[in-house]
Structure 1
Amino acid sequence: MNILVAVEELRIGGAQTFALRLAQALHEAGHCVFLYNMYWQYTEHDLVKRLAPDVELLQYNPVSKSLDNLLLRSDGWMQRHGHSSALRLGSLRKHLKQVIEEKNIQVISSNTFKADQLCAQVLRELPHIPLVVTMHGDYEQFLSAYQQGHIHAIPSYIQLLTETVGRINGVAYLSEQNLEALRPTVVGAVTGHIHLKQIYNGLEGRFSDEAAYFTRKALEVPAEALVYGMVARGVPEKGWVPVIQAFQRLQKDVTRPLRLLLIGASQFVDQLRKEYQSNQDIQFLGFINNPVDCIASLDVGILASSLKESLPNSIAEYLFCGKAVISTNVGEIQRMIRTDDDHEAGILIDFPTEGLADADQLYQAMLQYATNESLLKQHQTWAPDAFAKFNMDRCVAAYTSLYQDCLNAMHTAALV
């Protein structure tokens, strides 16, 4: 099968990481796979090389990159001021159509709404090619921003959503909450033709040559220390501050050596690094190419997100490395940490109705692991069993089945 895996950008992020891993896994399963990226400006080539080394990357390369950057900034300015703008889209549509025809693409597997929107527009002229989208959580986040009149909301989002959904043939969703944007009360398009399938993101966890830099010895972590850690984007909503507050409180109440490793980068994280630099047991490690290299040194992985997460990549990575989990209870996280025998490899705290995660609940969860060694070991033992649901072979089989269902349905419709 000739498959085009489309993304909006190729910077570090859950949707982008999964798209790269899926593309590589589909290639290894014998398919002819190509990657399509909307923004050459936002391509981390090291990330692509590491996660999808055998997949050809296709992206729009304008004659004048300075002009393209100007158009990109203009589009961004227009959107921030509540106006729709498509100064760059015309060239993108032309380029994508050319790619589809030249590579004889049979199925497009798109990730993130803006990539889905572009593909839907192009495929209206190519009605024989199915569009399968993976809902990573951005649809409902854009919907919420639009309904609340947020300053960064996509202008005319409901109209764009309706137009896009009308050309979608298949949806792979991670959590039931992803389907909110497809409800008849939200979208004006008929959705009965769409093949729906819940598919958990696959994870082919691999340690890299850089793992040696993140061992406990390399990080100067005492052998007897209990190590907590969090891998997250560098935005406040991921719960950086309440995690640090809970850890500081734990330090006062527990005599055992403790360490907190924080993995992620942004200006916000840089500010936190300066604010807490006097605490030698809190280590900010910045951006790490392959997070599992560092997660291996943890005892407990944390995600204190107040965002409407679906299937957070970091939770799957914690489980892959056999770590107990502390997380807010949102999206599929409870099912993620649950084994087939209904054991849970972690402790969940309440998802906040407003504001950030509750630092006291985080403290109580961290305290349980610090004072109950048998509980910690039991949850760590269950973690690999919980991870089994993220087997990449299982994920690829589910996607190829969905692709084939959509192809068969389009073929049948063409014969009617």
Structure 2
Amino acid sequence: MRILISTWSLQVGGGEVLAMNLAAELQRRGHEVYVFNQRAELIDHDLVARLLPPQVKVLSMADNPKSTFWAYKINALQGLLGRPATFYNQRQQAYLAECLLRYKIDVVSSHATVSDDICAPVVERLGLPLVITEHGEYTKFLQEGRRDFLPVLQVAKRILAVSDYCRHKLERAFPSLPPCRQCTMALLRKLMLPRQLVVRWLFRPKHLYSAWWRGGLRTKAGGTPYKRFSR
């Protein structure tokens, strides 16, 4: 299956790391995976090199630097004229559509509200299935009294929530939403933490867990201390 994973940026962050680890795991399972970075300038190249295998192609507006330059200029001009600055997003949606067709994508997985907003009209026009992952942003919008994002969620074929709390909030606010499921904690652990760390954590005695979270202690056998979020 050809899968495109869309995210807001490729920097350090919960949703971003989960999206990159998801891409790596899907590629390992034999799928053809692409990552679309909505903010081309927000990229940690060292992190990408560490988390994404070379077989996963990263796409963004940086692929077309001249087009990106003029898109930003026209965006700024729209703002100066008092108009909505939408030209860059329009160009980005056009490039996203081009990528979906060029690489014959079967399904799109989106991991940020801004990404959802950009992807939804494109995949709807092309007739592709969209899976939206709710990382807590829509729940925050609900707490702020917002409901304007409903049309975006209605485009999705499936909605995944990172917690049961987020899932319940969405289902209560919008009973007619597409099927909404919670990501299991086992899956989240696997995708959020480096693989070597997960393996070591799972096979360590339980009495070492609390020591690990306090910053790391040497084991009785003289092992090296754990370092949080390190490999």
Provide the TM-score with structure 1 as the length reference.
0.43
- In structure 2, give the amino acid aligned to 1:174: V
Instruction: Write the letter of the residue equivalent to 2:39.
Output: Y
Counterpart for residue 205 of structure 1: 194
Secondary structure, counterpart of 2:41 in structure 1: helix
User: How far, CA to CA, are the matches of 2:20 and 2:103 in structure 1?
Assistant: 19
CA distance in 2, matches of 1:176, 1:84: 36
Q: Distance in 1 between matches of 2:130 and 2:114?
A: 14
How far 1:32 moved relative to its partner?
A: 0.7
Distance across 2 between alignment mates of 1:14 and 1:317:
20
Q: CA deviation at 1:180?
A: 5.0
Cα displacement (A) at 1:15: 0.7
Query: For the residues of structure 1 that align with 2:75 and 2:167, how far apart are their CA atoms?
Result: 30
Cα gap change, 1:199/1:125 in structure 2, threshold over 3 Å: closer, same or farther? same
Shift of 1:319: 4.7
Partner of 2:90: 90
- Counterpart for residue 135 of structure 2: 136
CA contact under 8 A between 1:318 and 1:324: conserved in structure 2? no
Q: Distance in 1 between the 2:142 and 2:84 partners?
A: 16
How many correspondences in the alignment?
Answer: 205
Structure 1 residues 8-17 or 45-54, which shifts more?
45-54
- Residue type matched to 2:60 in 1? Q
Does the CA-based 8 Å contact 1:108-1:131 persist in structure 2? Answer: yes
Distance 2:116 2:89 in 1: 13
Partner Cα separation in structure 1 for residue 199 and residue 75 of structure 2: 34
Shift of 1:163: 1.1
Paired position in structure 1 for 2:3: 3
1:88 alignment partner, SS class: helix
Cα deviations across residues 223-259 of structure 1 (Å, max 9, x unaligned)?
xxxxxxxxxxxxxxxxxxxxxxxxxxxxxxxxxxxxx
**AA of the residue aligned to 2:158:** G
> Cα–Cα, structure 1 residues 143 and 88, in superposed 2: closer, same or farther, change >3 Å?
farther
- CA distance in 1 between counterparts of 2:172 and 2:86 reads 27
- Give the conservation status (yes or no) of the 8 Å contact 1:7–1:110: yes
CA distance in 2, matches of 1:324, 1:70: 52
Asked if the contact 2:129/2:156 (under 8 Å) is kept, the reply is: yes
Counting only pairs closer than 5 Å after superposition, residues 271-282 of structure 1 correspond to structure 2 as none
3-state SS in 2 of match to 1:100: helix
Counterpart selection for 2:209 from 313, 324, 332: 324
CA change 1:85–1:64 in 2 (3 A) is: closer
* Unaligned residue ranges in structure 1 (runs of 5+): 148-156, 208-291, 293-315, 327-344, 347-365, 367-372, 378-416
Distance 1:84 1:143 in 2: 25
Question: Residues 192-216 of structure 1: CA distance to partner in whole angstroms, max 9, x if unpaired?
Answer: x425343332246356xxxxxxxxx
Which residue number in structure 1 is paired with residue 20 of structure 2? 20
Larger radius of gyration: 1
Corresponding letter in the other structure for 1:121: P
Residue 87 (structure 1) shift: 3.3
Does the residue aligned with 1:124 lie in a helix, a strand or coil? helix
**Does structure 1 residue 182 correspond to structure 2 residue 183?**
no
Residues 7-406 of structure 1: pairs in structure 2 closer than 5 A: 7-54=7-54, 55-61=56-62, 62=64, 63-69=66-72, 85-127=85-127, 129-144=128-143, 146-147=144-145, 158-159=147-148, 161-179=149-167, 182-183=170-171, 185=173, 187=174, 190-191=176-177, 193-194=178-179, 196-200=181-185, 201=188, 202-203=190-191, 205-206=194-195, 319=201, 324-325=209-210
Percent identity, aligned pairs only, is: 23
**Kindly tell me: are residues 45 and 69 of structure 1, through their superposed partners in 2, closer, same or farther at Cα, counting changes over 3 Å?**
farther
Structure 2: how far apart are the matches of 1:199 and 1:60?
Answer: 33
Shift of 1:173: 1.7
Amino acid in the other structure paired with 1:46: D
- In structure 2, distance between residues paired with 1:130 and 1:64: 28
The 2-side partners of 1:71 and 1:177 are apart by: 41
Report deviation, 1:321.
9.0
Offset of residue 67 of structure 1:
4.0
Q: Which amino acid aligns with 1:57?
A: V
Residue of structure 1 in register with 2:225 after alignment: none
Q: CA deviation at 1:112?
A: 1.3
